[in-house]
Chains A and B, each alone.
Chain A
Amino acid sequence: MTTTQAPAATRKRPGGIPPGLLRYVLLRISAAIVVMLVVSFVVFLFVHAAPGGPEYAIAGKLATEEQLANIRQIYGFDRPLLEQYWTYLGQLLHGELGESVIQRRPVAALLGEAAQVTVPLLLFTWVIALVAGVAIGIVTAYRAGSRIDRFALGMTTLGASTPAFVVGTVFAWFFGVELGWFPALGIGDGGLDTIAHLVLPATTMAIAVLAITTRISRVRIGQILAEDQALFARARGLGRWWTLRNVVLRNAGVQLITLSGTIVVSLFTGLILVERVFNLPGIGSLMVEAIHDQDMPVIQGVTLCAALLVVVVNLVVDLLCMLVDPRLRVRLESAR
Chain B
Amino acid sequence: MNPTISTGRQTGLATDSLSVWLEQGRARRPIAESISLRVAPGESIAIVGESGSGKSVTARALLGLLPPELTSEGDVSVAGTSFLRLSEAARRRLRGNEIAFIMQDPFTMLNPVLKVGDQVTAALRGEDGRKLSKAERRAEAVARLNEVGITDPAVAGKYPFQLSGGMRQRVGIAAAIAENPRVLIADEPTTALDVTTQQEVLKLLDRLRKTHELGLILITHDLRVAFATCDRVYVMYAGQIVEVGETDAIRTQPRHPYTAALLAAEPPLDHRVPRLLTIPGSVPSPGSRPDGCRFAPRCSYAVAACTDSPVSLRITDESGEHRVRCDRAEEITLITDEAAGGPAAGAETVQPGDLLVKMRAVRKNYQDKVAVDGVDVDVYAGESVGLVGESGSGKTTLARMMVGLTRPSAGSVRVGGVELAAKRVSRQQWATVRGLAQMAFQDPMSTLNPTRTIGSTLREGLRLSGADDLEAATAELLERVGLPAGYAHRWPGQLSGGERQRVAIARALSRNPRIVVCDEVVSALDVSVQAHILNLLRELQADLGLTYVFITHDLAVVRQITDRVYVLNHGKVVESGQTPDVLDRPAHDYTKRLVASIPRVEQ
Contacts and interface: CB of A to CB of B under 8 A. Distances in A.
A231 B101 CA distance: 10
A324 B162 CA distance: 16
A227 B94 CA distance: 22
Residue of A1, A2, A4, A231 contacting most chain B CB atoms (<10 Å): A4
A13 to B, nearest CB: 16
Interface in B64-117: 65, 92-97, 100-103, 105, 108-114
Nearest to B104: A228
Given A235-B101, A236-B123, A236-B175, A6 B95 contact: no
A238 B96 contact: yes
Contact of B122 (A5, A231, A238, A250): A238
Contacts of B158: 6
Given A4-B170, A247-B111, A326-B159, A231 B96 contact: no
Nearest to A250: B113
Contacts of B108: 227-229
Interface stretch (B47-55, B149-157, B250-258, B515-523): B149-157
A330 B159 contact: yes
A242 B178 CA distance: 16
Given A236-B122, A327-B161, A2 B203 contact: yes
Contacts of B175: 232, 236
B166 interface: yes
Contacts of B155: 6
Interface residues of A, number: 31
Interface size band for B: 35 or more
A4 B149 contact: yes
A326 B116 CA distance: 12
A235 B159 contact: no
B88 to A, nearest CB: 10
Contacts of A253: 113
Contacts of B152: 5-6
B203 A324 contact: no
B65 A234 contact: yes
Contacts of A103: none
A2 B65 contact: no
Contacts of B101: 232, 235-236
A228 B109 contact: yes
B113 A237 contact: no
B93 A237 contact: yes
A240 B309 CA distance: 46
Nearest to A226: B67
Interface string A321-336: 0001111001000000
A141 to B, nearest CB: 13
Contacts of B110: 229, 232
Interface string B512-535: 000000000000000000000000
Contacts of A2: 149, 200, 203-204
B214 interface: no
Given A7-B164, A246-B114, 16 more contacts: A4-B167, A7-B163, A228-B105, A229-B109, A229-B110, A229-B111, A229-B112, A235-B63, A236-B100, A236-B101, A236-B178, A237-B92, A237-B95, A239-B92, A246-B111, A327-B112
11 contacts: A228-B108, A232-B101, A235-B96, A237-B93, A237-B95, A237-B97, A238-B96, A247-B111, A250-B113, A251-B112, A327-B112
7 tightest Cβ-Cβ pairs between the two chains A and B:
A237-B95, A237-B96, A235-B101, A236-B96, A228-B108, A6-B152, A6-B155
